[in-house]
Structure formats: C-alpha cells, structure tokens
Amino acid sequence: MSGIDLGIIGTGWCGGIRTAAAADHPLVCALHIAEVRPERVAEVAAATRARSATADQQALLSRDEFAAVMISATPETTHYPMACEALRAGKHVFFEKPIAMTLDEADELIALARSSGRKFTIGYSQRFNPKYAHVRQAIAAGTIGRPVSALISRHITRGLGKKISGRVKLSQAAMESTHDLDFLLWRLASPRRSRSASIRK
Ligand SMILES: NC(=O)c1ccc[n+]([C@@H]2O[C@H](COP(=O)([O-])OP(=O)(O)OC[C@H]3O[C@@H](n4cnc5c(N)ncnc54)[C@H](O)[C@@H]3O)[C@@H](O)[C@H]2O)c1
C-alpha cells in the first residue's frame, strides 16, 4: 500500500492533535497545513515537519500534491464554506463536527460529495474510544442482549463549555450529543452489515 500526502486546515486544539497523529502515521508521506495564526502555524509545522505551511486555505487547496484534506477550524460558521471549497477543489474531506449550521447546508455538502465522487466523513473520534468500541462489540456479539432504549449523559468541563458556547450558538445536541447519536447509528449499522455478510456466505 502506498502512502499519501495530506492537507490540514486549522491546527488549533483538535487540528493540532490530528496533525501530530497524521505526522506519526506510516501511511502519511507528507503534510501540508493551513492555519491563520502565524505563531501556531510555525509551531505545528516545525513539530510535524510539514512539507508546506500557509495562512491561506485557498493556496493550500490549489496544491495538487494531495487528494485529501482534514478540516478542523473554528468558528463553526466556517465549516460549510470550507467543506464546499475543499470538495469543489476535488479533495476528499475529513471534517470535524458539526457538519454545518443548518440541515440544508449539511444536505448540500453530502450531495456535493456524492456528485463529485469524493469521500466525505465526520471525525467521530468516540468510535476510537475503547469503551464505545467495547459496547458496540458486545451488542454485535449478543453478549449484552438487544438494546431497547438508550440513556445518554455527557459531561464536559466548565472551561470547554464556555469555549464552545462563546463561539457558536448551536444546541448541545448538535455540538456534543452528535457523538452519542453517531454511536447509536453506528451500533445499528453493525448487525445489519454482518447479517448480509452471513447471507452472502
Ligand atoms: N472529538 C471531536 O470530534 C472534536 C473535538 C474537539 C473539537 N472538535 C471540533 O473541531 C473544530 C475545532 O475545534 P478546536 O477546539 O480545535 O478549535 P480551536 O479554536 O482550538 O482551533 C481552530 C483553529 O482553526 C484556525 N482557523 C480558523 N479559520 C481558519 C482558516 N480560514 N484557515 C486556517 N485555519 C483557520 C484557528 O486559527 C484555530 O487555530 C470545532 O468545530 C470542534 O467542534 C471535534
């Protein structure tokens, strides 16, 4: 399997973690980053040995060395226009939640990704949380029976809550419970897939 070059837009808290993980990944050959804060772009570019670094997302998207881009910027009002621009530039897009500010924008992005034949996904990081993966596996294996309802409780620190609510007016469901909704849908996707796989056998 050959490696890929990767573009990353926004290297703040989450984007910084994504950039460091990508830099360490054996299938990532080179990183190209865009970040509007000069001190942060210099810091992340040096730490991850990025091949190119810019403050200009359009300059990044015009490069043809890479086919995929991660977008991890704030405020959340930037998500929809950035994803549109990246998909229109012909890139595959790995995107942070929330996908957009409105359902119409989200639908438009999904349609754009489909019509341009590009991969488009949200970074639902909780899927890589061992607790979530374990529960999913236990449900799929039938060891904890068939779930009939789900009660979700989510706690974030006061500091993080203040940071998020200070920059965007979206519901808790859109900003945080989106992870839980994804878990429930992910959980449901598994048995269906394994049933059809066993039918095919
Ligand atoms: N587990 C998860 O799924 C998870 C966790 C944390 C954050 N997030 C999401 O990731 C996004 C980023 O969150 P964060 O906490 O890292 O925010 P942050 O504010 O720490 O970082 C965002 C970065 O984007 C940069 N930026 C803004 N506009 C830009 C542009 N036009 N071009 C290049 N860079 C630009 C900012 O300078 C900043 O460094 C949020 O939408 C958040 O909801 C997801």
Whole-angstrom Cα distance, residue 55 to residue 33? 8
User: 179, 153 in Cβ contact below 8 A?
Assistant: no
Q: How far is the CA of 34 from the centre of ligand 1 (A)?
A: 12
| The pLDDT value given to residue 199 | 35
- Residue whose Cα lies nearest atom 39 of ligand 1: it is 12
**β-strands 120-122, 4-9 pairing:** unpaired
- What the block records as the tokens of 145 is 């029976």
**Which position has the token pair 């830099």?**
23
Average pLDDT over residues 128-157: 88
Q: Is the pLDDT of residue 193 over 80?
A: no
- From the CA of 40, give the closest atom in ligand 1: 39
Confidence of residue 198 (pLDDT cuts 50, 70, 90): very low
- From the CA of 179, give the closest atom in ligand 1: 3
Q: Give the binding-site residues of ligand 1, using a 6 Å CB cut-off.
A: 9-15, 34-37, 40, 57, 72-74, 76, 78, 96-97, 123, 125
Q: Which of 73-77, 79-83, 120-124, 188-192 has the lowest mean pLDDT?
A: 188-192
Average pLDDT over residues 101-114: 96
Q: How far is the CA of 3 from the centre of ligand 1 (A)?
A: 26
Q: How far is the CA of 149 from the centre of ligand 1 (A)?
A: 33
Which residues carry out catalysis? Answer: 97
SS3 label, residue 91: coil
More confident residue, 103 or 193: 103
Nearest Cα neighbor of 54 from 120, 67, 69 is 69
**Which position has the token pair 């048995």?**
191
Q: Name all domains of the chain by residue range, CATH numbers in brackets.
A: 4-123 (3.40.50.720), 126-200 (no CATH)
Q: How far is the CA of 191 from the centre of ligand 1 (A)?
A: 34
- What the block records as the tokens of 75 is 């405020």
Whole-angstrom Cα distance, residue 94 to residue 73? 12
| The pLDDT value given to residue 167 | 83
Please list, residue by residue across 48-84, b when 16 or more beta carbons sit within 10 angstroms of its beta carbon and e when fewer do.
bebbbbbeebeebbebeebebbbbbbbebeebbebbb
Q: Say which amino acid occupies 148.
A: V
Nearest Cα neighbor of 22 from 35, 38, 9, 39 is 9
Beta bridge partners, 120, equal 93
Whole-angstrom Cα distance, residue 195 to residue 190? 9
Tens digit of pLDDT for each residue in 1-21? Answer: 789 999 999 999 999 999 999
| The pLDDT value given to residue 189 | 64
Tell me how long the chain is: 201
- From the CA of 34, give the closest atom in ligand 1: 33
- From the CA of 125, give the closest atom in ligand 1: 1
Q: How many CB atoms lie within 10 A of CB 136?
A: 16
Give, for ligand 1, the residue of 72, 125, 165 to mutate: max count of ligand atoms closer than 8 Å to Cβ. 72
Tens digit of pLDDT for each residue in 75-88? Answer: 999 999 999 999 99
